[in-house]
A and B are shown apart, each in its own frame.
Chain A
Amino acid sequence: MKAWLHSVRVLVWKDLLQEWRSRDILTSMLAFAVLSLFIFNYALELSPINRSEIAPGIVWVVMVFAGTLGLNRSFTAEQDQGCFEGLIMAVPDLSAIYFAKLLTNLLMMVFLAVLVIPIYSILYNQSLFNWAFFGVLALGAWGYSAAGTLISSMTVQTRMRDLLLPVLLFPLLLPVNMAVVKSCGVLLGSVAGQDINGWLNLLLVYDAVVTMLSIMVFEYVIQE
């Protein structure tokens, strides 16, 4: 177990260092997100009241789409430079590779949220600075990263790569999408006091189930 955690830590650090050097993924995700917010403004042209109601929806949709840019790149280094084999020979269990990538993708999504929230607040003149709201986004990002990491580890090995990721991933994300948007709506006060426990439970169950399942099947994805 200690060895497993150690390898996860080393792998995450390596990924973060790689990203810090190139800053490819984070900058494109951010640019995509901000531009999308602009597009939404003109596409939706809503009154302030309506706008506040759909804020969680817009923020989450922007994160989901921008997130695919990051997910598509998660395993390209491993695939193109053959690093999978180097890692397989080194880690105590292949699930460590999956979990480390999940954490890396999660951190990138959280980073994205940290930047999108203030930018949205400024552009749309509505304060989204709410810890609970951020917490739910993070939980949603966990579910997103859990499913996304598994799917991208498969699509990176196919011919179609980037093209295939959204097609495979989005049908699996419906529960996360619903749960995040609905509970955030309540938390921001735009939807009248409703019980969000159901949604939060659903989100936690999804995160747990998908993570556990992915840990179990990951070895079949990367090893011949």
Chain B
Amino acid sequence: MRLQARQVSKAYGAQRVLDRLDLSIDAGEVVCLLGPNGAGKTTLIRTLSGLQKPDSGKVLFGVEAEDENILKLRRNIGIILHQPFLYEHLTGMENLRFYSRLYETALDEGDLHRLMSRVGLGKTRPIPVRAFSRGMKQRLTIARALLCDPQILLFDEPYTGLDQQGCGMLNQLIQEESARNKLILLTTHELSFIRQIATRFAILHHGRIAAEFPNAGVSLDALQEQYSTALGAEKKPLMERL
């Protein structure tokens, strides 16, 4: 199983967000995508998941994507974006039950309860999601992403809203999934947490992967250093460029 972006470009009007980007991720890898705000990390995740079509270039899933049953492909991707995808008036379990039925999974009540426990929501009372804290919503979103037991996980800033315990839970979850040979790509600004589990870092800047390096137990400072260097040369004041 391999996820590949080949020469992917995407522009919003005159602004080029992705510029002939190449990236490939294999099963068992945990790739962390880094980059400044507005670099295009979210756009890349959305393009890889199929929610957005690139202007040019291809996204390939091992086999040529066009031949595969699109629905099966989509259901094999667990995605987390900035917004939680939750229905406010339903309880946590009801949300999971709804998505589980929609995805046509074979999960029963017991399985759903186990999933809730796995993300640390096992003991919550049946209250509507409206009353959940931000952290609880994020945990539920993570649970929702795992419903189909997808082979590919695309997480955009998954640590948002999670407390220390939550971040630890997410790290453990990612390691468990990675051990089951899943393909994981995530974006984050939480360098301290991600360096514990990432197998590789990729830095997105000016629409391309500016740097890629494996996570060979590099220290936090070294990581910061590498990150700044990759971005450093790029900033020029406006007058120079006109």
Contact = CB atoms under 8 A, between A and B. Distances in A.
A86 B90 contact: no
Contacts of B213: none
A14 B97 CA distance: 10
B101 interface: yes
Contacts of B104: 3, 6
Contacts of A3: 71, 104
A90 B99 CA distance: 8
Contacts of A86: 85, 99, 144
Contacts of B2: none
Interface stretch (B22-30, B48-56, B160-168): B48-56
A91 B102 contact: yes
A47 interface: no
B90 A21 contact: yes
Contacts of B157: none
14 contacts: A10-B102, A81-B88, A82-B81, A82-B83, A82-B85, A83-B87, A85-B83, A89-B50, A89-B75, A89-B79, A90-B99, A90-B103, A223-B51, A224-B51
A213 B193 CA distance: 50
B108 to A, nearest CB: 16
B160 to A, nearest CB: 13
Given A82-B81, A224-B52, A22 B86 contact: no
Contacts, number: 69
Contact of B90 (A17, A92, A224): A17
Given A18-B87, A89-B50, A224-B53, 20 more contacts: A3-B71, A7-B102, A10-B101, A14-B98, A17-B89, A17-B90, A18-B90, A22-B89, A77-B87, A81-B86, A81-B87, A82-B82, A82-B83, A82-B85, A85-B51, A85-B81, A86-B144, A88-B51, A89-B74, A90-B102
A81 B89 CA distance: 12
Contacts of A7: 102
Contacts of B79: 85, 89
A87 interface: yes
Interface residues on B, range: 20 to 34
Interface of B: 46, 49-53, 71, 74-75, 77, 79, 81-90, 94, 98-99, 101-104, 128, 144
Interface string A1-26: 00100110011011001100110000
Interface residues on A, range: 20 to 34
Interface in A64-83: 77, 81-83
Interface of A: 3, 6-7, 10-11, 13-14, 17-18, 21-22, 77, 81-83, 85-92, 223-224
Contact of A17 (B53, B94, B103): B94
A86 B81 CA distance: 10
A82 B84 contact: yes
- Sort A-B residue pairs by CB-CB distance and give the 3 closest, nearest first: A82-B83, A86-B85, A21-B89
Q: Which one of B52, B82, B90 has the greatest number of beta carbons of chain A within 10 Å?
A: B90
A83 B85 contact: yes
A12 B103 CA distance: 15
Contacts of B46: 224
Nearest to A92: B71
Contacts of B86: 81, 83
